[in-house]
Structure 1
Amino acid sequence: MLSSECRGGRFSPSRASQFLDVLNDCNLLDMGAKCLRFTWYRNQRGVVLAKRLDRAVCNVEWQAMFPEAYVENLCMVYSDHCPILLRRKGSRDKAQDRPFRFQAAWATHKGFERIVREAWGRSTPTLANGL
């Protein structure tokens, strides 16, 4: 959307303008983001390209209902895109509101499949409880 949201490669002012027009036509606001500046990375012939392609948007009514909400750009794991996380202030302080974060190393544990099967087999948990 802005030239500052692009490092390396080409920035297209006309495409950025078209995107802004769509946001305006739909009465949407970019919520911005904390943490990482870019959400997409690619190494092209030894040059690292980085852009803020992923974003959260909302309308004014939603923003008025959730004024404390904010977005975090998280570290990428298996994709060239970084996940984005919508948070509300204060949710970090409560253990039950913390997001589940899967550690890729867990999948290498020799009892991983058995542990997961047993955990999910105990009851019919919600996705959050199962995780």
Structure 2
Amino acid sequence: MTADLTAFLRRMASEPFAWGRFDCALTVADWWLANHGHDPAAPLRGTYATREECRAVLVREGGLLRLVARLAASAGASRLNEARPGAFGIVRQRDEHLAMVCTPGMRWAAKSESGIVAVAHPHLVAMWSV
């Protein structure tokens, strides 16, 4: 990992939420981009601008888990069995999946319409190293 995780999380907190530009799924792609200089989600950026359009993309892609798994594999990310700071993954929160980044304090954080969502003991569905 080459990017500063704390600085990235600060930026994530300060940027306004925008569907198709700066949302939970694209945040993990931004983290990959910050570390590797390649955006695995480039083909998706700007293809949706509302929650409904995002849902349509996710339905077409087979859901958030399948989408992130496909993008992670295409980027060369390695699956993890144990969480560590800087990892990214899919967390099940209530009745939905969120794409999140593991913070230095071992919380999982995601961009949301209301700011940042942070979860201390999430139900991790899958995770990858950056």
Shorter-chain TM-score bucket reads under 0.3
Larger radius of gyration: 1
TM-score, scaled to structure 2: 0.23
